[in-house]
Amino acid sequence: MSPFFAVVRREIALAMRQKGDVLTPLFFFMIVASLFPLGVGPETNLLARMAPGVIWVGALLAAMLSLQRMFGPDHADGSLEQFVLSSTPLWLLVQAKVFAHFLLAGVPLVLMAPVLGIQFGLEARSLAILALTLLLGTPVLSYIGAVGAALTLGVRGAGVLLSLLTLPLYVPVLIFGAGAVEADAAGLAIDGHLSLMAALLLLTVFFAPMAVTAALRIALE
């Protein structure tokens, strides 16, 4: 597992040298989530109903901002070719890069979401469920985004194409994530939503690295 942790440390070190790449998605998330209460007004019930969807959409869009940097810089400087030629399995290196993306792009969103949820008037239980759904959902966003980033690597207009590929695949995560908070607020069980999100996470952890590996090899041919 030492190559795995070496790649994770490398990604974090590179991100710390360019802090703007880490802070931009977080500030975008904060701005998007904060504008809705200002625009809607102080209607507490309305804000509470809107909160799960607004925060989840904001997190989804914020996570997309850093997808192109997952493989783009490595492709430009030749590091990606070294990954492919390395004796370490490429799928393990892909897992490391996706995990690093989750740490840098997903975890800050998970930590910030409850703070932003307060301005929507969410109760403590709803805030905890919101954070839990984001904790389960943001890794799925990273894995799906990695597949899209690998498929569009080196393609002209990759940003638009990446959005077209990933957004439809993000919809189930958005529905189950926001739906869990809404179901709890309505007094309904949320076990089904959380189970489906956990199943999506397991599926992407298993299948996404294989798809990314194949896409990267094709992109480098």
At 90-115, the pLDDT tens digits run: 889 899 999 999 999 899 999 999 99
* Res 34 pLDDT > 90: no
What is the pLDDT, as a whole number, of residue 201? 94
Sign of the torsion angle spanned by Cα atoms 117, 120, 122, 126: negative
What is the pLDDT, as a whole number, of residue 170? 92
As a whole number, the mean pLDDT across the chain is 87
Instruction: Give the CA distances from residue 120 to residues 11, 39, 69, in Å, rounded to whole numbers and listed in that order.
Output: 34, 12, 32
Cβ atoms < 10 Å from Cβ of 86: 12
What is the pLDDT, as a whole number, of residue 136? 93
- Distance between terminal CA atoms of the chain? 28
| 153: Cβ contacts below 8 Å, ≥ 6 apart | 71, 72, 75, 215, 216, 219
Cβ atoms < 10 Å from Cβ of 212: 27
| 75: Cβ contacts below 8 Å, ≥ 6 apart | 153, 154, 219, 220
User: What is the per-residue burial (b if ≥16 Cβ within 10 Å, else e) of 22-45?
Assistant: beebbebbbebbeebbeeeeeeee
| 206: Cβ contacts below 8 Å, ≥ 6 apart | none
pLDDT confidence bin for 1, thresholds 50/70/90:
low
